[in-house]
Protein backbone atom coordinates (compact mmCIF):
# COMPACT_ATOMS: atom_id res chain seq x y z
CA UNK A 1 0.00 0.00 0.00
CA UNK A 2 1.36 3.37 -0.98
CA UNK A 3 1.33 6.50 1.13
CA UNK A 4 -2.04 7.56 -0.32
CA UNK A 5 -3.58 4.28 0.81
CA UNK A 6 -2.80 5.19 4.41
CA UNK A 7 -5.03 8.24 4.17
CA UNK A 8 -7.99 6.67 2.40
CA UNK A 9 -6.78 7.43 -1.12
CA UNK A 10 -5.80 4.95 -3.73
CA UNK A 11 -2.60 4.03 -5.46
CA UNK A 12 -2.99 4.03 -9.21
CA UNK A 13 -3.12 0.92 -11.32
CA UNK A 14 -0.19 0.04 -13.54
CA UNK A 15 -0.57 -0.16 -17.32
CA UNK A 16 -0.44 -3.97 -17.16
CA UNK A 17 -3.09 -4.07 -14.42
CA UNK A 18 -5.33 -1.78 -16.46
CA UNK A 19 -5.00 -3.91 -19.59
CA UNK A 20 -5.66 -7.13 -17.68
CA UNK A 21 -8.74 -5.72 -15.93
CA UNK A 22 -10.19 -4.28 -19.15
CA UNK A 23 -9.59 -7.62 -20.89
CA UNK A 24 -11.48 -9.25 -18.02
CA UNK A 25 -14.47 -6.90 -18.49
CA UNK A 26 -13.68 -3.69 -16.63
CA UNK A 27 -15.20 -0.51 -18.07
CA UNK A 28 -12.69 2.19 -19.01
CA UNK A 29 -14.02 5.73 -18.52
CA UNK A 30 -12.34 8.87 -19.86
CA UNK A 31 -13.43 11.83 -17.70
CA UNK A 32 -11.93 14.50 -19.98
CA UNK A 33 -13.97 16.89 -22.11
CA UNK A 34 -15.54 15.69 -25.38
CA UNK A 35 -12.97 17.76 -27.33
CA UNK A 36 -10.09 16.09 -25.50
CA UNK A 37 -11.69 12.68 -26.01
CA UNK A 38 -12.11 13.35 -29.75
CA UNK A 39 -8.45 14.31 -30.03
CA UNK A 40 -7.44 10.84 -28.84
CA UNK A 41 -8.46 8.27 -26.27
CA UNK A 42 -7.82 4.72 -25.17
CA UNK A 43 -9.48 2.07 -27.32
CA UNK A 44 -12.88 1.08 -25.99
CA UNK A 45 -13.12 3.95 -23.49
CA UNK A 46 -16.40 5.69 -22.74
CA UNK A 47 -16.42 9.47 -22.44
CA UNK A 48 -18.17 10.73 -19.32
CA UNK A 49 -16.73 14.20 -18.64
CA UNK A 50 -16.09 14.92 -14.97
CA UNK A 51 -18.58 17.79 -14.95
CA UNK A 52 -21.29 15.40 -16.23
CA UNK A 53 -20.42 12.49 -13.96
CA UNK A 54 -22.86 13.27 -11.11
CA UNK A 55 -25.86 13.07 -13.45
CA UNK A 56 -24.50 10.22 -15.60
CA UNK A 57 -23.37 7.75 -12.94
CA UNK A 58 -26.34 5.53 -13.73
CA UNK A 59 -24.69 4.79 -17.10
CA UNK A 60 -21.87 2.97 -15.32
CA UNK A 61 -22.21 -0.61 -14.11
CA UNK A 62 -21.97 -1.30 -10.40
CA UNK A 63 -21.39 -5.01 -10.91
CA UNK A 64 -18.16 -4.59 -12.93
CA UNK A 65 -14.91 -2.79 -12.31
CA UNK A 66 -14.81 0.83 -13.50
CA UNK A 67 -11.44 2.40 -14.30
CA UNK A 68 -11.28 6.19 -14.71
CA UNK A 69 -8.56 8.26 -16.39
CA UNK A 70 -7.98 11.83 -17.63
CA UNK A 71 -5.10 13.94 -18.96
CA UNK A 72 -2.97 14.37 -15.84
CA UNK A 73 -4.66 12.38 -13.09
CA UNK A 74 -6.38 15.23 -11.25
CA UNK A 75 -9.85 14.74 -12.75
CA UNK A 76 -9.64 10.96 -12.49
CA UNK A 77 -8.84 11.31 -8.79
CA UNK A 78 -11.92 13.51 -8.36
CA UNK A 79 -14.01 11.03 -10.35
CA UNK A 80 -12.80 8.18 -8.14
CA UNK A 81 -13.86 10.09 -5.01
CA UNK A 82 -17.26 10.97 -6.50
CA UNK A 83 -17.98 7.40 -7.53
CA UNK A 84 -16.91 5.94 -4.19
CA UNK A 85 -19.07 8.49 -2.37
CA UNK A 86 -22.05 7.23 -4.40
CA UNK A 87 -21.40 3.61 -3.46
CA UNK A 88 -19.25 2.34 -6.32
CA UNK A 89 -16.96 -0.23 -4.73
CA UNK A 90 -15.15 -1.56 -7.82
CA UNK A 91 -13.70 1.70 -9.09
CA UNK A 92 -10.03 2.42 -9.78
CA UNK A 93 -7.97 5.42 -10.85
CA UNK A 94 -5.68 4.88 -13.83
CA UNK A 95 -4.40 8.46 -13.66
CA UNK A 96 -3.24 9.99 -16.93
CA UNK A 97 -4.08 8.86 -20.45
CA UNK A 98 -0.45 7.90 -20.97
CA UNK A 99 -0.80 5.27 -18.25
CA UNK A 100 -3.66 3.65 -20.16
CA UNK A 101 -2.34 3.62 -23.72
Going from the N-terminus, what domains does the chain have, and what CATH number goes with each?
Answer: 12-100 (3.40.250.10)
Torsion of CA 85, 69, 46, 17, to 10 degrees: -100
Residues labelled catalytic: 70
Please, what is the Cα angle at 8 between 24 and 4, to 5 degrees? 85
Mind listing the pLDDT tens digit for each residue in 21-51? 999 999 999 999 999 999 999 999 999 999 9
How many residues are recorded in the chain? 101
Q: What is the dihedral of CA 3, 21, 44, 46, to 10 degrees?
A: -50
Taking a C-beta distance cutoff of 8 angstroms, is the pair 91, 65 a contact? yes
Q: What is the pLDDT of residues 45-73, one digit of tens each?
A: 999 999 999 999 999 999 999 999 999 99
Amino acid sequence: MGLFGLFGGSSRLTRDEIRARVAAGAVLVDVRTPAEFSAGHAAGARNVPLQDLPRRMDELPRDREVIVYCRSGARSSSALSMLRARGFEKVHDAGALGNVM
